[in-house]
A and B are shown apart, each in its own frame.
Chain A
Amino acid sequence: MQHYNMNLNLKVWRQKNSKTSGAFETFKVSNISSEMSFLEMFDVLNEQLVAEGKEPVAFDHDCREGICGMCSMHINGRAHGPWSKNTTCQLHMREYKDGDTIVVEPWRADAFPVIKDLVVDRSSFDRIIQAGGYISVNTGNAQDANALPIEKQQADDAFAAAACIGCGACVAACPNASAMLFVSAKVSHLALLPQGDPERKTRAFNMVNQMDAEGFGSCTNIGACEAECPKGISLENIARLNREYVGSMLSGSAVEGLQQ
């Protein structure tokens, strides 16, 4: 494909902090290469703003390799932009053509308050993990891979669930701002492996409780989360979470866990 340069109009959400209300600001950027990533385009914009003595646009990013889950832009109505199974940092400017207008918003959910501009506070995810997304046993050194036989399909499903990078695109994409796909991935990868078994009965219950306490919406099986997930986390995990949750409720241990 031929490389090309383009001039773009950007409508970017600007917000000072979580206390103030924000608004869109329009920018023009020129000579953007089709080979740039979306975040590199934002670097160009910010250098331009710094040169003009203006406040650069704050946005989250870290690895820029599509694996860390830090980038978080809602681009023209799509979490991580229009490409499927893709993060914002791996969205490339060849998607756009000269003269395009791109609307960039932060993840919008009451459980993800805006810190500044396009940066949102996703620590509610951390608190959900703290509520049960771990194992307490000391696993020691890594043992021989074949010492603990695990069915191949089981291991594959656990791996697919563990691929969740916790970026929050599921919440951003969900019309209900629900975090079910994230929670279900975190519950699933432990529920499918023997290491996760001892705390299995309380895990789903406690994590779902924390999810509700954080103010996320409830799942109505719309499926926009799965469509937007950069790691292709499947809705099957939500079905598994529901099974785990019922199991958690039926056994008394969930309630005991709460009382402790």
Chain B
Amino acid sequence: MSLTGIFLIVFLVVHCYVNAQIFYFDGGVRFLEAAHFMGTNLLIRTTEIGLFAFLILHMVQGLSLAFKNRSRRSQKYAVSAGSATSPWYSRSMALLGTLILLFLVLHLYKFWGPNRLNQLTTGEELNLYTAMKEEFQMAWVVAVYFLGCFSLAWHLVHGFYSAFQTLGFGNSRYKGMIKSVGIGFSIVVPIIFFMMPLAFFMHWL
């Protein structure tokens, strides 16, 4: 879980950096250059296969872990501690992950799928900037993106710290630093992501 999780965190950084190019307010010139590089570079495209493999591994491991753990207490407590002993998001990783997956289905269907299909059939990439501009006029799409980013943020608050704890970095020297960097990351990255649909929807771009 931790290794695939950290790989996905690295992916988020790259994805966020490339897509944030739209905020140069240059009509998408820089963004399209970067998107072209990402869409055609052999190394990136090979890593993309790894990304999907890791994503699927992360989901399969995560869900089987959640189901296995749930089965370890056949007789449930009549009264449970709830949030008195642990934060809700740390107990809801499978739910948050599933919400992110639902968002991902829409996200890939809207952008990644059509683009790769076009590349396969015509060899040409789609103009993803105009595609974003069109898609993000629909309020329900923006709402699903909000839900996706919101779930991602809470998933990361626990996931970032948890990944390093599992790898054994959770000692007194690093724990505070990992927790603070994790919380900062969980706030900044989802906000930058959500600024994209919001910016198009509000006609800032």
Contact = CB atoms under 8 A, between A and B. Distances in A.
**A and B found bound together:** yes
A228 B169 CA distance: 22
B137 interface: no
B21 to A, nearest CB: 35
B86 A177 contact: no
B81 A78 contact: yes
B175 A236 contact: yes
Contacts of B86: 175, 222-224, 227
Contacts of A176: 69-70, 72
A228 B85 contact: yes
Nearest to B165: A221
B168 interface: yes
B82 interface: yes
Contacts of B93: 220
Given A175-B91, A221-B162, A246-B168, A77 B72 contact: no
A55 to B, nearest CB: 21
B4 interface: no
Given A227-B86, A236-B172, A239-B165, A173 B81 contact: yes
A104 to B, nearest CB: 9
A216 to B, nearest CB: 7
A251 to B, nearest CB: 15
Nearest to A245: B168
A165 interface: no
A108 B65 contact: no
A242 B168 contact: yes
Contacts of A121: none
Contact of A235 (B91, B167, B170): B170
Nearest to A22: B75
Interface in B73-105: 73-82, 84-86, 90-91, 93
Interface residues of A, number: 40
A239 B169 contact: yes
Contact of A220 (B65, B168, B169): B65
Contact of A224 (B65, B76, B79, B81): B81
Contacts of A243: 168
Contacts of B150: none
Contacts of B40: none
Nearest to B167: A242
Interface in A177-225: 177-178, 215-224
24 contacts: A77-B77, A103-B78, A103-B79, A108-B75, A173-B85, A176-B72, A177-B72, A217-B68, A220-B69, A221-B90, A221-B165, A221-B166, A222-B86, A222-B91, A224-B85, A228-B85, A235-B165, A236-B171, A236-B172, A239-B168, A239-B170, A240-B171, A242-B165, A242-B166
Interface of B: 65, 68-82, 84-86, 90-91, 93, 158, 161-162, 165-172, 175
Interface of A: 11, 22, 24, 74, 76-79, 82, 103, 105, 108-111, 173, 175-178, 215-224, 227-228, 235-236, 238-240, 242-243, 246
Closest 8 CB pairs of A and B: A239-B170, A243-B168, A176-B69, A77-B79, A217-B72, A227-B85, A177-B72, A221-B162
